[in-house]
C-alpha cells in the first residue's frame, strides 16, 4: 500500500518522463525557475510556492492530506466537485468502503487558479510539430489571458473545503495526465502509421473506453 506522498512523487516522475519537452527540457525549466527564485526579494520568497521548484506542473498538486497517509482506495474522476466529495463520504459510511483519496484530473483549489501558468507547454508542443515558436507563443498568448480571466473569479476551493470537513485527501494531476496521454497516443499513432484525420479517428475508436 502506497502513501499519499509516494503516489504524488510517482505521478511527478511519470509526468516528467512523458513530457513532450523531454526530461532535459523539464530540468532546464526547473533550473530557470530556481534562478528566478534566487533573485526574488525576501518578501516575495515568503509568498513563493516552493513546490514549483521541484514539481514542474503547477496544476498538479496534493491539496489536502497527510503525506504519510496510506491510501487504500481512490475515487478518481475527470472532475472532483463537492458532489464527488459527498459521494465518497456516503460510500465510506453506508457501504463500508475505505476511500482515502479523491484524485481529480482537472485541477481544483490553488492549482485551478494557476491553470494558465502551465499552458506555455502547448506552445512548445506546437513548435515540436513545426510551428515557429514565435507564432505558437502568439497564438497561445490570447488564449492564456482568456483562461486566466475566466478562472480568476471562481470559487477554487469549494471541493477542497468540503473534503477537509470530511477528512478526505485530495490530489489533482492535470498536465501530468495530459503528458501520459500524449506519450501513449504519439507512440500508438506511430505504430499504426496514422497519417490522416480519418486514420487517427479509426485508431482512437479501437481503444477500449
What's the pLDDT tens digit per position in 94-117? 887 789 999 999 998 877 767 667
For the segment 175-202, what is each residue's pLDDT rounded down to a tens digit? 999 999 999 999 999 999 999 999 999 9
What is the C-alpha to C-alpha distance for residues 93 and 97, in angstroms, rounded to an integer? 7
Q: Which of 123, 150, 125 has its CA nearest to residue 18?
A: 125
For the segment 13-69, what is each residue's pLDDT rounded down to a tens digit? 999 999 998 999 999 999 999 999 999 999 999 999 899 999 999 999 999 999 999
What is the C-alpha to C-alpha distance for residues 176 and 15, in angstroms, rounded to an integer? 4
Residue reference for cell 499504426: 192
Q: What mean pLDDT do residues 56-83 have?
A: 94
Per-chain mean pLDDT for the chain: 90
CA 121 to centroid of chain Cα atoms? 12
Determine the pLDDT at residue 97.
78
Contact 147, 174 (CB under 8 A): no
pLDDT at residue 166 greater than cutoff 80 = yes
pLDDT at residue 144 greater than cutoff 90 = no
Q: What are phi and psi of 103, to 5 degrees?
A: -115, 115
What angle do helix axes 22-38 and 4-17 make, rounded to 10 degrees? 110
pTM of the model: 0.85
Alpha helix stretches (DSSP H) within the chain: 4-17, 22-38, 42-47, 82-94, 110-113, 120-128, 133-151, 158-165, 174-192, 197-205
Q: What are phi and psi of 50, to 5 degrees?
A: -60, -20
Amino acid at each position: 500500500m502506497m502513501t499519499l506522498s509516494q503516489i504524488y512523487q510517482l505521478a511527478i516522475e511519470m509526468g516528467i518522463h512523458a513530457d513532450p519537452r523531454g526530461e532535459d527540457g523539464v530540468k532546464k525549466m526547473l533550473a530557470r525557475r530556481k534562478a528566478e527564485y534566487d533573485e526574488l526579494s525576501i518578501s516575495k520568497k515568503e509568498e513563493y510556492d516552493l513546490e514549483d521548484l521541484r514539481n514542474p506542473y503547477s496544476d498538479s498538486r496534493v491539496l489536502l492530506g497527510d503525506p504519510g497517509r496510506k491510501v487504500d482506495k481512490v475515487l478518481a474522476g475527470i472532475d472532483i466537485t463537492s458532489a464527488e466529495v459527498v459521494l465518497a463520504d456516503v460510500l465510506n459510511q453506508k457501504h463500508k468502503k475505505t476511500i482515502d483519496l479523491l484524485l481529480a484530473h482537472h485541477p481544483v483549489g490553488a492549482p485551478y487558479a494557476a491553470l494558465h501558468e502551465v499552458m506555455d507547454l502547448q506552445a512548445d508542443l506546437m513548435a515540436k510539430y513545426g510551428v515557429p515558436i514565435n507564432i505558437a507563443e502568439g497564438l497561445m498568448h490570447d488564449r492564456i489571458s482568456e483562461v486566466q480571466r475566466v478562472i480568476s473569479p471562481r470559487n477554487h476551493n469549494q471541493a477542497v473545503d468540503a473534503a477537509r470537513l470530511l477528512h478526505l485527501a485530495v490530489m489533482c494531476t492535470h498536465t501530468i495526465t495530459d503528458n501520459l496521454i500524449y506519450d501513449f497516443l504519439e507512440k500508438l499513432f506511430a505504430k499504426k502509421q496514422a497519417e490522416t484525420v480519418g486514420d487517427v479517428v479509426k485508431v482512437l475508436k479501437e481503444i477500449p473506453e
